[in-house]
Amino acid sequence: MKQYITLIRPVNFIITAASIYVSCLLAGGTQSQFLAMMFASLGGAFIGGGGMVINDIFDIEIDKINKPHRPLPSGAVEKFDAMMFYGGITGAGLIMSAYSTRTAFIIAFAVVPVIFLYSQQFKSKPLVGNLIVGGLTGLAFIYGGAAVGNIKQAIMPAVFAFLINVGREIIKDMEDVEGDAKHGASTYPVKYGMKKSAAIATWFLAAVILSTVIPFVNGMYGLKYFIAVNIGVNVVVGYVLFSLWKDRSTKNLNVLSNILKWDMLVGLVAIYLG
């Protein structure tokens, strides 16, 4: 069972569920909507977990180079069993999302084939795959807003999530460049090199910093948000940018990717305070 839990990346699973639940709260979710918020959060996390599984299935050969310890390339889980697991948890996620709202279910239903097509063919397209992942991450917040009937309040968190995730995905592609190149995956770093990839990631991460000012200036979020987002998010993103240009080794790129993943939670806290 441990190998199957590893497949869905439990940290990502928890972050997805927490992000959707917080997005429900940010959109005005109330105690009376607790069950709808819980079903939406778990449903989204299960669908996201399924996305991790199908991604690993299509990446078995690449991961034999980049991540040989993972359950599929190491042989700990058979491909057929992983496919059945993918179908099971994705179906469970759709059922759970159906117990929130109709709009949230429609979003969840539409996301499933997008995740599959991303893993099958779009992941290796230069920048296209990165934009899709960023869009799906941002859509998780829209989905959370839809679960409580208030999409408008979820737009700003969705923008933050989109920008920081595109930057992070490019850094992850830089980390995986060796295996991707050997198996013909035409990611941005493979096609255009590490320096240009770092430049694109810098643009997106710099946009995160600049975009944090907008909701404070227009009065959407208060002073607590502005202080928290600058200390907890912008300083960290600034460090990532500095380190990215100083050291682009595989080890450091992995560290920077993980820093950005956790920093998204800090950003959610800042928004909640605001």
Domain regions of the chain by residue span: 2-273
100-108 mean pLDDT? 93
Distance in angstroms (rounded) separating the CA atoms of residues 96 and 169: 28
Closest listed residue to residue 145, CA positions, set 136, 135, 155:
155
pLDDT in the model for residue 103: 93
3-state secondary structure of 54: helix
Q: Are 41 and 165 in contact (CB under 8 A)?
A: no
Confidence of residue 199 (pLDDT cuts 50, 70, 90): very high
pLDDT in the model for residue 253: 93
Q: Taking all residues of the chain, what is their mean pLDDT, rounded to a whole number?
A: 90
Between the alpha carbon of residue 215 and those of residues 42, 75, 200, the distances in Å are 29, 48, 24
Which helix or strand (DSSP H or E) is residue 63 part of? Answer: helix 60-66
The predicted model scores a pTM of: 0.85
Q: Are 163 and 205 in contact (CB under 8 A)?
A: yes
Q: Are 6 and 85 in contact (CB under 8 A)?
A: no
Confidence of residue 60 (pLDDT cuts 50, 70, 90): confident
Terminal CA-to-CA distance of the chain, rounded, Å? 40
Which helix or strand (DSSP H or E) is residue 96 part of? Answer: helix 79-97
CATH of domain 2-273: 1.10.357.140
Distance in angstroms (rounded) separating the CA atoms of residues 33 and 239: 39
Distance in angstroms (rounded) separating the CA atoms of residues 175 and 95: 35
Closest listed residue to residue 151, CA positions, set 161, 143, 160, 162:
143
The number of beta carbons lying within 10 Å of the beta carbon of residue 195 is: 10
- Residue 125 makes CB contacts below 8 A (sequence gap 6+) with 186
Confidence of residue 84 (pLDDT cuts 50, 70, 90): very high
Q: Indicate if the pLDDT at residue 207 is higher than 90.
A: yes
Distance in angstroms (rounded) separating the CA atoms of residues 231 and 68: 37
Distance in angstroms (rounded) separating the CA atoms of residues 272 and 274: 5
